[in-house]
Amino acid sequence: MDVASGKIKGYKRVKSERQKLVEKHRQLNQTDTVKVMSHVQREEKDSDWIRHTIMLEGIDVPFIYRRKQQYQSLKGARVNVTYYRHVEDVAGIEFETMKVVRIKRS
Q: pTM of the predicted model, to two decimals? A: 0.74
Q: Where are the domains of the chain?
A: 26-105
How far apart, in whole angstroms, are the C-alpha atoms of residue 8 and residue 6? 7
Q: How confident is the model at residue 1 (pLDDT cuts 50, 70, 90)?
A: very low
- Distances in Å between the alpha carbon of 85 and those of 19, 29, 34, 65? 18, 8, 17, 12
Q: How confident is the model at residue 25 (pLDDT cuts 50, 70, 90)?
A: low
Identify residue 28 by its one-letter amino acid code: L
**pLDDT tens digits for 40-94?**
999 999 999 999 999 999 999 999 999 999 999 999 999 999 999 999 898 999 9
Residue bearing the bigger pLDDT, 15 or 58: 58
Q: Are 66 and 48 within 8 A, CB to CB? A: no
Residue 8's pLDDT is 55
How far apart, in whole angstroms, are the C-alpha atoms of residue 27 and residue 85? 8
* Residues 26-105, CATH architecture: Beta Barrel (2.40)
